[in-house]
Chain A
Amino acid sequence: DVQMTQSPSSVSASVGDRVTITCRTSQGVDRWLAWYQQKPGKGPRLLVYASSSLQSGVPSRFGGSGSGTDFTLTISSLQPEDCAIYFCQQTHSFPWTFGQGTKVEIK
């Protein structure tokens, strides 16, 4: 199985700050990685697919990059509504696997 390692496990930043979350895979997954946002009591929401493609309706302050084994999700200007848990998932090979998640909070 492809192991997924996310960092940091949590981050606290001010409104307007740039926030970066990284995801490393144990094997190369080309660009087949997705990012999700999850708020309490709700199912996750797809933000980014194929490493850098923004899902329809997702604000442009979210962006993804990377290929191979190293990937990044960036929030360019943190907003209060971005408080959530973010996690990555590889869609390259079965079984599909997920990162442990990064909790984003407002200072």
Chain B
Amino acid sequence: QVQLRESGPGLVKPSQTLSLTCTVSGGSINNSDYYWNWIRQPPGKALEWIGYIFHSGITFSNPSLKSRVTISVDTSENHFSLKLASVTAADTGVYYCATMGILAAEGRWRGFDPWGQGTLVTVSS
């Protein structure tokens, strides 16, 4: 079964770019049944969906972050990545990658499953 693992620096300086990678194992990122997502959770706050990418390269992001977010995919390496520019302390939190499936019969979204275990990113000088 598909497993996801986030990797990247745990500390980023303010105004710099946060970069994370999600490595997919147990399945292909070319699977057309899945959309590949980034989600984050600031301390003490609710989860926030950041955006997704499809294996073809189509992306869609949360409008609240869209101007700072870049999501890319490397199908040869079976991973996808997140870049978040101009970070501030408000971007501190646990970052997750997760798969969103489709309910084909209804043409609707199923839910995020599976998720990676998450990686803590702290923005501080």
Contacts of A41 in B (CB 8 A): 117
Q: Is the CB of B111 within 8 A of A91?
A: yes
**Additional pairs, 18, CB under 8 Å, beyond known A45-B115, A98-B48:** A34-B110, A34-B111, A34-B112, A36-B111, A43-B96, A44-B47, A45-B113, A46-B112, A49-B110, A49-B111, A50-B108, A89-B112, A91-B109, A96-B49, A96-B109, A97-B46, A98-B46, A100-B46
The dominant DSSP class at the B interface is: strand
* Interface range on chain B (Cβ under 8 Å from partner): 20 to 34
Distance from B88 Cβ to chain A, minimum over Cβ atoms (Å): 20
**Cα-based distance from A42 to B116 in the complex (angstroms):** 8
**Contact string, B85-125, partner A, CB cutoff 8 A, digits 1/0?**
00000000000101000010010111111111110000000
The dominant DSSP class at the A interface is: loop
Q: Is the CB of A43 within 8 A of B115?
A: yes
Q: CB within 8 A of B46: which of A4, A42, A49, A50?
A: A4
- Residues in A lying within 8 Å of B, measured CB to CB: 4, 32, 34, 36, 41-46, 49-50, 55, 87, 89, 91, 94-101
Taking CB as reference atom, which chain A residue is nearest B116? A43
Q: Is the CB of B47 within 8 A of A87?
A: yes
Taking CB as reference atom, which chain A residue is nearest B66? A95
Q: CB within 8 A of A95: which of B45, B63, B110, B118?
A: B63
Q: Is the CB of A98 within 8 A of B111?
A: no
- Residues in B lying within 8 Å of A, measured CB to CB: 4, 45-49, 60, 62-64, 96, 98, 103, 106, 108-118
Distance from B38 Cβ to chain A, minimum over Cβ atoms (Å): 12
Q: CB within 8 A of A44: which of B60, B62, B108, B115?
A: B115
The winner among A4, A43, A44, A55 for most chain B CB atoms within 10 A is A43
Q: Is the CB of A55 within 8 A of B46?
A: no
Taking CB as reference atom, which chain A residue is nearest B65? A95
**Cα-based distance from A51 to B28 in the complex (angstroms):** 29
Q: Is the CB of A42 within 8 A of B117?
A: yes
**Cα-based distance from A102 to B111 in the complex (angstroms):** 18
Taking CB as reference atom, which chain A residue is nearest B110? A49
**Cα-based distance from A96 to B61 in the complex (angstroms):** 10
